[in-house]
Amino acid sequence: MGIATINPATGELVKSFEALTDAEIESKLERAQQAFESYRQTSMNQRAQWLNKAGEILENDRERFGKILTLEMGKPLKAAIAEVEKCASVCRYYAENAAQFLADVPVTTDASKSFVRYQPLGIILAVMPWNFPFWQVFRFAAPALMAGNVGILKHASNVPQSALAIEEIIQAAGFPDAVFQTLLIGAGKVAAIVADERVKAATLTGSEGAGISLAVAAAKDIKKTVLELGGSDPFIVLESADVEAAATTAVTARMINNGQSCIAAKRFIVAEAVADRFEKLMVEKFQALKIGDPMLPDTDVGPLATPSIVQELDELVEKCVQHGGKILTGGHSFSDRPGNYFPPTILSDLPPGSPADKEEFFGPVALLFRVKNLDEAIKKANDIPFGLGASAWTTVEEERDRLISEIEAGAVFINGLVKSDPRLPFGGIKRSGYGRELGIQGIHEFVNVKTVWVK
């Protein structure tokens, strides 16, 4: 795949870019290493000033940056602007809290003095996806830079202008030269960069296959990795739930980012007692969504990022129907309009053995399952290779406690939408990956946790 901006709403090639040569990659790695040697000595207060400035730049120019996101991957402009604003919030969060998170932690032992100290590792490679072109990067960059590390970014090949804009923001904020650099390269160059002795660790958000590839490459040199991979998140609605509120949230949960989100709700597991009502509401709300130009303010659902995603969804939906599944609304991609559009779709009556059991539907397709009781709901929720997030709806305390305890996921949200928040750790279990971003846990992923004992 070439490195290029292709407008997903029209299929038009907007701008293409030349990949870096091996010599250019070497130059950037050398500059990054040199930058680390001095940057690691900067004060937390100075880093915080620079990071706060980055947040200010994001907020002040959010519409311009939002338009880059929308142009490159198709999310509605209002959502793109909100993403840029969220990046400003994660900058402020770590600017305000990193000193506390990384302060020496005294421990009482048999020594005169003993404590834990957190120190930066060096160059961290970030391999990032196209679906949240700014947010995925800043939630790595903000804690990594505050910890004293330097970053190199290998972004998805279809969002090069987003990648370059992020480097521009970091530089404009005042960070020293080469503390954060974008590498316009293909996936085939990643393994060699991971193997370079100057690169100390790597983080990846993306597909399961990409995560395996990075983890294998890093393991050869015993390097730390954090992986945030796919998800097929359950959205459980029990008999006691506020069905109207659940249905309204369900639409947002499935349609966020045109359905292209790892933590988007994908499997809707509903108690039989309220299933008819929930299904009716959900179908009505799906059918009311406006599909169109993502640059327009009244568009609810824009195009998907690439034609291959549309093709994959078509194939998955067709396989579900062949297994006996029923299309309640939507169903197949459009053949009469340009761009990568796919209608909001709901599938029900999905029997065991259909793709709905094990596959992640990365787009605006909701999978509806009916269950008899809480036991069945939890079993269905956990019967998937992934374990990223889960949303569950109930007003019964005992049900809530069981859902929190028994659902296999990195996050459980009760009566609310699963979302990432700078204050809370984010990540998954099972084939959704390992490690955590955000919160205090996120800044501790890429530091040396050094034990100090003095007598």
Q: How many CA atoms lie within 13 A of 237 on its CB side?
A: 28
178 — alpha (psi -120 to 50), left (phi > 0) or beta?
A: left
Angstrom distance (rounded) from CA 439 to CA 426:
8
CA atoms 355, 360, 364, 367: torsion sign: positive
Q: Which two tokens stand for residue 354?
A: 């259909």
* Structure-token pair, residue 9: 């709403």
- Contact yes or no for 149/123 (Cβ under 8 A): yes
C-alpha 149/C-alpha 367 separation (Å) is 42
Token digits of residue 87: 């990046």
Structure tokens at 333: 């991609």
Which is catalytic among the residues 228, 359, 360, 445?
Answer: 228
**From 91, 262, 279, 359, active-site residue:** 262
262 an active-site residue? yes
Q: Which residue has the tokens 């269950």?
A: 371
Cα separation, 249 vs 252, in Å, equals 5
CA distances from residue 364 to 203, 309, 344 in whole angstroms, order as listed: 27, 11, 5
- Token digits of residue 231: 């998800």
Does the active-site annotation cover 228?
yes
Catalytic residues: 228, 262
